[in-house]
């Protein structure tokens, strides 16, 4: 009986070594897949990217609205309103 427990004790390090190597390989492959996915991903599908673009355009639109609201009605040009409408349409596309 002593011989079989000794053999099992000697086999344990090799089994653990193989498991460790397999785990390291799996982790490396997962990292490669993640990197490939991130590099091929459409930046427009990024939530952070979308929110940054949307907020920037919304702030610009809000500033344009404030400017037009502060202007005298007689000073407004049809192009001002048309430009604002185009900005709203562009924001709607995002």
Least confident of 8-12, 18-22, 65-69, 85-89: 8-12
Contact residues for 25 (Cβ-Cβ < 8 A; gap 6+): none
The secondary structure of residue 73, as a DSSP letter, is: G
What residues does each domain of the chain span?
1-41, 43-94
Q: Would you say residue 51 has pLDDT above 80?
A: yes
Task: Supply the mean pLDDT for the chain.
Answer: 79
Q: What gap in Å lies between CA 73 and CA 1, rounded to an integer?
A: 101
Q: For residues 12-38, give the mean pLDDT.
A: 90
**Residue 87: count of CB within 10 angstroms of its CB:** 16
Counting every residue written for the chain, the total comes to 94
pLDDT at site 7: 60
pLDDT category of residue 9 using cuts at 50, 70 and 90: low
Q: Is 89 helix (H, G, I), strand (E, B) or coil?
A: helix
């Amino acid at each position: 009986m002593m011989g079989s427990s000794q053999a099992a004790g000697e086999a344990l390090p090799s089994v653990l070594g193989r498991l460790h190597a397999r785990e390291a390989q799996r982790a490396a492959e997962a990292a490669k897949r993640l990197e490939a996915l991130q590099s091929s991903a459409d930046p427009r599908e990024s939530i952070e990217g979308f929110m940054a673009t949307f907020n920037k355009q919304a702030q610009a639109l809000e500033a344009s609205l404030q400017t037009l609201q502060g202007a005298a009605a007689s000073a407004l040009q049809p192009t001002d309103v048309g430009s604002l409408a185009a900005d709203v349409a562009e924001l709607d596309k995002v």
